[in-house]
Structure 1
Amino acid sequence: MDNKLEHETHAEQKTEIEQSSHSAAATSIKQKSTEQPNASQDNAEMAISAPLVKTHREHTSHQPIAPEQWLSFDQVPLDPVHANHYTQVNTESLIFSCLLLVVASLVLILPGDFYPAKVLAVSLGALLIISVVSYVRYRHAKSLAYVVCEHELIMQQGFWWVKRTSLPYSRLQHVSLSHGPLERHFNLATLKCFSAGSGSAEIELPGIEQQTAENLRQHLLAQAAKTNPSVATESKLAAEPVDQINLESSEVEQQILKQTTRSSQVAADNSTQDKAMNKQMTAQRGPADDA
């Protein structure tokens, strides 16, 4: 009997342990099932909000930039103008010196007063003016430099007060070339760039070889046409050969000549018709007057 009772008590304890284990497993499964949707929802919310937070941080970033990372066109290496420009400047200074010496000689000869003090003063003054003008012009010519960048044209000039100008292609409106007698002699040209809203040239760059200046002009107009459609017409005309432009102009002149000849023929026909009508009217008036 005792063994039977012990066996029954062991069986009851075993069933109670199994029931408790099953209930614990069921509660853990329920907790996992309830936690999994919440976790997936949290992950989805984090995935949606992460790009927004990232873009917001990118747009509202206020981190300071070191001076070494500042972008400046002062660090761009510049190219000097053609070497013939220095010879041209020296030639102009020599011509100016000759003219000034002639004027100084006339100042001494015409009055007829050849006092040593006056001759010395006029000579020293003329030499001083010649030296200063020649030095300043030569140093200014040596200070000229430029560079053609991807989005802008940069020019530097001046040796006492250095001036560096940057002209973006988006503001470029017109580009012209000019060359005087000495510039033609030394195969040079002056490039002038006009910007929007400016009456005078914003960049005036002398001392460029003529073929290089023409190529640079076409390049600047092409770059400006990409950013500014109003310059496209001028760049198209600059890119066309001269013979084609002359041919088109001759065709236009021929059309104008044809129109003028047609109008003159129409006017002649009208005049003949008027004369015939006048004759008929005078002929009709004659019999009426006789009656």
Structure 2
Amino acid sequence: MDAEPLTQLDPSYTTVMRIEGLLTTLPFIIGAGVLSFAEVVPAWAPGIPVLILAILLIGVLPMKRYRSRGYHMAADRLRVVKGVMFHADTVVPFSRVQHLDVEQGPLERAFGIARLILHTAGTHNASVTLPGLPFDDAKAMREDIRQHVKRESL
């Protein structure tokens, strides 16, 4: 199973993660600016940790997360691999799928990508999310899995 070649996610997923990192960093940038402007601390002091945080959340982590993710869709299962620090390799047999969702947030919609979510029976890993798919690919995968589930139930 581990020898299966993984399909990479859409490269625009890194841009979405970078924008999310920028939005996360923005309050810290504003706070550092206020502290510097109010002269509560030396002007450079709040800037250094905020700069490090920005480099990590905008520059480094999106690429590491992108490179660590992938998937393989076989005839009867979907394998999803993710994780930079904590690696997860999840295999979802289509026979366990209860229902499927394709979701897009505003950023994902702007870049034409989506998340495929497989909801399964059971409690552990009851939902498996595959982000960063081109929207049309996510819909096609949903329909392929739905057809397989429909055949299984007949």
TM-score by length of structure 1 reads 0.49
Q: Which amino acid aligns with 1:128?
A: I
User: What is the root-mean-square deviation of aligned Cα atoms in Å?
Assistant: 1.9
Q: Gaps (5+ residues) in structure 1?
A: 1-72, 230-291
- Contact 2:14 2:62 survives alignment (8 Å): no
Give the structure with the larger helix fraction.
Answer: 1
CA contact 1:192–1:201 (8 Å) conserved in 2:
no
Q: Output one character per residue of 1:250-281: Cα deviation in whole Å (capped at 9) or x when no partner.
A: xxxxxxxxxxxxxxxxxxxxxxxxxxxxxxxx
Deviation at 1:213, TM superposition (A): 0.7
Q: Tell me how far apart the structure 2 counterparts of residues 228 and 104 of structure 1 sit (CA, whole Å).
A: 58
Question: Equivalents in 1 of 2:35, 2:41: separation in Å?
Answer: 12
Work out whether residues 100 and 142 of structure 2, in 8 Å CA contact, stay in contact via their aligned partners in 1.
Answer: yes
* CA spacing shift, 1:200–1:164, aligned 2, 3 Å: closer
What is the one-letter code of the residue matched to 2:84? F
Counterpart AA for 1:186: F
Counterpart Cα distance in 1 of 2:100 and 2:124? 13
Which digits, 9 at most, give the CA deviation of each residue in 1:32-86, with x for residues without a partner? xxxxxxxxxxxxxxxxxxxxxxxxxxxxxxxxxxxxxxxxx10111100111111
Q: How far does residue 158 in structure 1 lie from its aligned partner after superposition?
A: 1.1
CA contact (8 A) 2:35 2:41 kept: no
Hey, which of these two has a bigger chunk of strand by percent?
Answer: 2
The verdict on how the C-alpha distance between 1:212 and 1:115 changes in structure 2, with shifts beyond 3 A counting, is closer
Distance in 2 between residues matched to 1:90 and 1:186, nearest whole Å: 12
Output the CA distance in 2 between the equivalents of 1:115 and 1:216: 54
- Tell me how far apart the structure 1 counterparts of residues 106 and 125 of structure 2 sit (CA, whole Å): 23
Query: Between Structure 1 and Structure 2, how many residues are aligned?
Result: 153
| 1:80 aligned partner | 8
Q: 1:124 corresponds to which residue?
A: 48
Q: How far did 1:139 drift? A: 1.0
Residue of structure 2 aligned with 1:108, choices 16, 36, 45: 36
1:74 and 1:207 map into 2 onto residues whose CA distance is 21
Percent of residue pairs identical: 24
> Where in structure 2 are the equivalents of 1:94-173 lying within 5 Å?
94-109=22-37, 112-116=38-42, 119-134=43-58, 135-173=60-98
Instruction: Give the aligned partner of residue 210 of structure 1.
Output: 135
Instruction: Give the number of the structure whose alpha-carbon radius of gyration is greater.
Output: 1
Q: Give the 3-state SS of the residue equivalent to 2:95 in structure 1.
A: helix
Per-residue CA distance 1:211-258 (angstroms, 9 max, x = gap): 1111110111111122235xxxxxxxxxxxxxxxxxxxxxxxxxxxxx
> What code does the residue aligned with 2:62 have?
R
